[in-house]
Amino acid sequence: MSGLFKAISRQRSTVDMAGVGREAITTQFTKGRLDTSGAYKHLSPVEENLLADFWEKLLADFDKPLKEVASDPVVKPIECDDAAEISKAKEIGESAPFEVFKGCMFNQTVGDKCRELGIESEQADGALVPKYEKQMKDDTLGSAMWSVVREDHPDVLMLRFLRARKWDVEKAYRMAIAALKWRMQENVEEIIWYGDIYNDASLMWKGVSYAHGKDKLGQPIIWSGSCLHHQKDQSYPQLKRYLIWMMETLRQLLTPPIERVCLIMDLTDHSNANMDWPFVKTFLKFLEAYYPECLGICIVYNGPWWFSGVWKLISPLLDPVVASKVQFAQKPEGLLKFIDEKQLLQSRGGKNAYKFSYVKPDPEENKLMFDAEGRAAASKKLEDLQAQFIQATIDWTDAKEAGDDEKFAEALSRRMELSDQVKAAAQEKDKYTRARHFYTRTGILSDSVVDWSKLQCP
């Protein structure tokens, strides 16, 4: 066995060798430098080896039905009969309708609101998005995995789970499989397909949560104003759908080495009426189990005097890694430690004059989604590249096991090249399988390029 693999074998007596030296998030802001250790294209030899081990386990189960692959339990954040809640909300919306926000009625979707406003496509039924077509070929782990990877580099997704479980391959693998099963249960692919068209209209018009600008490390800033949220304004299934849609949309705004977001929990004008424990529990579960390593920092801003009591109730629910990323700021000076003045909103003490205003769908923005032939061609190209990537990954893991440095390096180079090609092909297919949204309508996101200046006010 060569020198490199002998060294790795000696080091692998402890998984703790992976992830060593990662800086605390506050230290990164103090230095003004993002810590990329353990991230895609920034792996140590030990971490590279553990990633290969993860892929070996994945490939061994690749053709098995997903439901037969062992995993962590798929836990619901709260017990809720979604079908019953949806039916109840529909009944209220029809029998006792009430306005929630600026003409948006209870249980009214963006699609409903668009029809009311006369926003319809040239399709025979005026639909803004075609009927959902399942993109997974079968029920195998492999198909489920690719449905989750989408426009990411495949390794980016795997590394999230490895880092979340401190590079314990078995624990990371079981966590990842549970996340795949959860996505199948929640029909995440279908949520992505329809986009904000099926989201609750009041949530979209309010701008309860939205991304704008970036922090000092380059991470997108998510502004979440709690004073805009009231539990009674929407059903729990609609809130959960919105949260999943938001998380999936934000993934498009992340490009390595930027793999996390800066979340501002803005508690200005917050009152007890804004507390929503089902939402809190759901959001925390999503961060910990199903979207790991997506949070860079969470800044709780301008909390009322009594919020310390609420925090004592919330903090035990947090995963320790998530808890370590929570910071508190009462004044603009606290935010300016993490966000440049030009990026910070004027309403919060900065110089950015932007104010959220929802941009309604354009009638023809999803025209490509009605092109079945184009979608089939894009799917074929992507599937061919995915197959090549899997073969390169097999060559890579085989070379690792054989201790062949030269073949290992060659396979690694080949799979990295193919990873870029898979990502590009997935982005092309995305045009046929994902409804456009606020960030594409405004030009902030165009062909995977994020440009916040499109909505940066002077």
Q: Return d(Cα 9, Cα 162) in angstroms, integer.
A: 19
Report the relative pairing of strands 209-214 and 449-450 from DSSP bridges: unpaired
Is the omega angle on the peptide bond into residue 257 within 30 degrees of 0, that is, cis? Answer: yes
Expressed in angstroms, the distance from the first to the final Cα of the chain is 61
Amino acid occupying residue 61? D
What does the pLDDT profile of the chain (458 residues) look like in tens digits?
444 444 444 344 444 445 555 688 889 999 999 999 999 999 999 999 999 999 999 999 999 999 999 999 999 888 899 999 999 999 999 999 999 999 999 999 999 999 999 999 999 899 999 999 999 999 999 999 999 999 999 999 999 999 999 999 999 999 999 999 999 999 999 999 999 999 999 999 999 999 999 999 999 999 999 999 999 999 999 999 999 999 999 999 999 999 999 999 999 998 888 888 888 889 989 999 999 999 999 999 998 887 778 788 888 878 888 888 999 999 999 999 999 999 999 999 999 999 999 999 999 999 999 999 999 999 999 999 999 999 999 999 999 999 998 999 999 999 999 999 999 999 999 999 999 999 999 999 998 899 998 875 54
**Model's pTM, two decimal places?**
0.93
Q: Return d(Cα 318, Cα 324) in angstroms, integer.
A: 9
Token code pair at residue 351 = 């110089």
In this structure, the number of other CB atoms found within 10 A of the CB of residue 279 comes to 20
